[in-house]
Structure 1
């Protein structure tokens, strides 16, 4: 019988915890909660909620001469340490591997003076640990010779930038199983407890252990635990946690230095010089939290009692997620094919497709959603034409998928759209070919093509109208799309049914004239349940949009092409119903 390991159970717990937080139905939340309780009881693991003083997993005793990596601890009495609460947990004696054989510290300093101070502080707590120290200053800089003479057991790497390649260089030098990646660390106290971190690695079966941070010299304390998500071509990073155990929060990203296996760090950290400061580490943790089928699951915790002293906001090295500038994030956006970043403190960054190397044509494939910057390009020219039509009193209304998108997404464009469809009053042909065409010249990304006639009567609208179809049309091209502009001899948007004004729908910030009942028009055009999702008819190999293919009650999204950008895949990331999932809502 197949059984789940502890790590797999933790992954299931975290997914259920996130599902619980996202669910809107009370009944759904109760069912998820009951499932979690069942999972906890069957697995024998502690519940993913705070409970004080739960017994930790006991470190296994030495077997056949094999030493353990860390000794166990036990909870003493809070009353004994009620003055400062420093020594309540008691470490037990055991036959263990010396710490200096297990852990090496990696750090970065701007100058030799700072490096010397940091090493002195580390040595006061861990006198025998090896240190790899990168410095911005070179060996010929004033004072650098002090490092060479007065700081033993430290290897210096001069003239280095705070980029991923530097951290990989530091990690390649030593041979301990674990490294403490001292990103932004500027001070050191006994609160950075490496034994506690090793103990958590073993007892919780996680891969990375960090802690809280204290900004120096300001003294401000932060938990430093964040959740991340990539959806709708948007990276969202939000402070907080869903689950905890042994006073450690499960995090997608942590702001602190961290303990990690050396080989794992070397495998995943990107060495690009274009990513600097905290960006390489954001990228590292995004890789861990976006593991797909067949890849190992990497888990991270931040323990509230472990404290790191990091650079404050008085230097650029102390910049946090919200303080890091838009330009610094661009290489990350390029790598992950996103055009939008939402950070703590309501900080947002957006880029046009060209700035983050998003090729819109690549995403016009079955099973894939289009990035927001691509859809904005379509919406821009759509609104330009509608605004000009309104200016010259030319009746128009969105049709086909454009009407469907406005109805289904409450004012947006379908993520799998292929074009836009607008009907306009063909009796205003001279208006389109005249003033509207001339004004469109001021919009270089919206190019109006030549007129195309649909009947032999060309511009004889009265004779054309008997065929009950459009008489002529234009195709407008944006940077990445085409818009079909059909001239009709009748305009159902003018059917007021005794009301004062025509119906309007909302499309990407613009209220525009529409069919009298846009929802009924969509339902009658495509069938029940039109609010369900099905992709563009081209993706199904249909000859026209009039082919009956919309069994939207049960149809799943189509599979994504092999090698596609993972978060663009509809089937893996979205449900075939509901529109909130396409909005930029919090993580």
Structure 2
């Protein structure tokens, strides 16, 4: 069949994300999972769900073809004629669909990037949706070893594909033990290496007393004959006669990250325990259990346990973390689990990981303590690596991590964050200069990234210089062009804009020209770009453009006579700002089809200037981000809706 010719100028916006070719094998596998889930939703979703329209674009994607057809959302779907108990409730269906869209959006964003990383959390989300729709589906999606342990009546040991074990597998022996201390037991096996060839313990002990170091080392040695490496400031009073004890000195002025990165190069075992804040150790801290999870859960590279402090306070230590729009949120808890362990983005407790991972993604030079760990786990997440917390493994710690503002600002500097909501629900807000965010050269920024909120606030302040002047002098003004779009879509400055557009009456041009004395006191100035037409106001890093049109004075003729004495106002960064009499109609007629959707600023697009000269608008959407791991990349965000930008952590 001959392929229909759909020109770029007439192609519907909803097709845009489909137009990239899917050549990444992992993307195809995940998309195949999406197809399966759509089939399931079609089966249980009831007569109102029409999956047929979804399969044409998905099928073409799997073939690596471009898609030129979209779902027709204007066609009314039939309503059920009678109650069907197999129909999924509306709220559940919307939640599941939202998850699928989130996964789909991330896959399409990553496709085409030379160095794209497929986040393993996407596969977990797909599996969770499938299991919720039909628990039987999960059986076919599991690896051959269904559970974390075999049962007592199972004699065969299932081997791991393409890898060898470092510890013996577990067997589950159900028993009535009111204290819950027996049940999951390690099998007897003779095909794994001695544990001293498997794991090394690292104790970041620079702030510990010598007595605490000696005690923790002694307690670990009671259970494991493995190498223990305390990192201390002084060897004084440290018992050096303990077998397999290797003391590492950290000199004054040297950062913990530097010492550890050098240490990792010398570790001979495949795994290490990072024994942060340990105060005691006994048989409740099964290191074999953590190594076993790393052996068996392929996509997990870090596994921690729970923690108990001397006061008895227990904490599983599993954090979820998300960064968006120059902000980070941390929360204690989990969404998914496997093998009785929680999937996490970050861990607050001692953890086991591979030496290979620590060499591949080392600690950030110059960092120490909690900020060093928060930064490292954040790096793991942007590289698509997940962690786990197994709450049945309990470590005894001196204190639970409690980060203050001085520690969080270090993380903020590393990740360009204006705001952090901590896992203890405290909120920290930082000014741009303190975290290394600069607002100069916005055109280069918006080619890939959103402008930081502090930069948008700066531009809003510049606008207030002019609007306040206009109000004080009874001068008419209106937002127009991209500034109207910002007001309508975001109730403020567009995160991908770099100027302000203000329409004025031509008769007032000379009066606006007289703003220079006021502007210079605020480090700004104006100049005439085109006589009696364009007046440009330059402020540090940004500019505002005032333009007069001969028809401005007559724009109010479209309002009822009773309303012409007051301009139409719109909320803009919390203030009431004058806009076109009917701003929605203005935007629709000026920008045409689907103007509520988003795309990069025309000056950053390949065909932007040419399209402007042609007099028509050719939709190009977001440009590919030059740093795909950055949380403010525009192509991380949907091309539709304002809530993902205004309330990125809202989950409806």
- Aligned-pair distance for 1:251? 0.9
Whole-Å Cα distance in 1 between the matches of residues 464 and 647 of structure 2?
22
Indicate if the aligned counterparts of 2:440 and 2:540 stay in contact, CA closer than 8 A: no
1:449 aligns with 2:545: no
TM-score (norm 2): 0.71
SS at match of 2:639: coil
What is the aligned partner in structure 2 of residue 388 from structure 1? 469
Indicate if the aligned counterparts of 2:341 and 2:389 stay in contact, CA closer than 8 A: yes
Match among 228, 249, 254 for residue 158 of structure 1: 249
Whole-Å Cα distance in 2 between the matches of residues 566 and 246 of structure 1?
32
1:260 aligns with 2:365: no
Gaps of 5+ in 1: 292-296, 313-317, 455-470
What is the aligned partner in structure 2 of residue 283 from structure 1? 375
Whole-Å Cα distance in 1 between the matches of residues 210 and 630 of structure 2?
44
CA, structure 1 residues 429+340, in 2 after alignment: closer, same or farther (shift >3 Å)? same
Match among 613, 617, 622 for residue 550 of structure 1: 617
Q: Deviations over 1:404-451 (max 9, x none)?
A: 111122x022222131111234444565344x543334423xx12234
Whole-Å Cα distance in 1 between the matches of residues 637 and 618 of structure 2?
18
Whole-Å Cα distance in 2 between the matches of residues 483 and 59 of structure 1?
74
Match among 416, 429, 453 for residue 349 of structure 1: 429
SS at match of 1:154: coil
Q: Which deviates further from its counterpart, 232-241 or 87-96?
A: 232-241
Whole-Å Cα distance in 1 between the matches of residues 506 and 290 of structure 2?
73
Match among 117, 123, 129 for residue 226 of structure 2: 129
- Aligned-pair distance for 1:116? 1.5
Whole-Å Cα distance in 1 between the matches of residues 196 and 640 of structure 2?
55
CA, structure 1 residues 252+55, in 2 after alignment: closer, same or farther (shift >3 Å)? farther
Indicate if the aligned counterparts of 2:250 and 2:256 stay in contact, CA closer than 8 A: no
What is the aligned partner in structure 1 of residue 183 from structure 2? 88
What is the aligned partner in structure 2 of residue 484 from structure 1? 545
Whole-Å Cα distance in 1 between the matches of residues 586 and 241 of structure 2?
81
CA, structure 1 residues 373+39, in 2 after alignment: closer, same or farther (shift >3 Å)? farther
Whole-Å Cα distance in 2 between the matches of residues 339 and 118 of structure 1?
39
The within-5 A match list for 1:206-355 is 206-214=300-308, 216-273=309-366, 275-291=367-383, 297-312=384-399, 318-320=400-402, 323-325=403-405, 327-344=406-423, 345-352=425-432, 355=435
SS at match of 2:493: coil
- Aligned-pair distance for 1:12? 7.5
- Aligned-pair distance for 1:244? 0.3
Indicate if the aligned counterparts of 1:212 and 1:221 stay in contact, CA closer than 8 A: yes
- Aligned-pair distance for 1:218? 3.1
TM-score (norm 1): 0.79
Q: Which deviates further from its counterpart, 369-378 or 245-254?
A: 369-378
Task: Note the aligned Cα RMSD (angstroms).
Answer: 3.7
- Aligned-pair distance for 1:207? 1.5
Count of residues in Structure 1 that have an aligned counterpart in Structure 2: 524
SS at match of 1:474: strand
- Aligned-pair distance for 1:211? 1.8
- Aligned-pair distance for 1:402? 0.4
Indicate if the aligned counterparts of 1:180 and 1:259 stay in contact, CA closer than 8 A: yes
SS at match of 1:86: coil
Match among 404, 416, 440 for residue 519 of structure 2: 440
Indicate if the aligned counterparts of 1:59 and 1:68 stay in contact, CA closer than 8 A: no
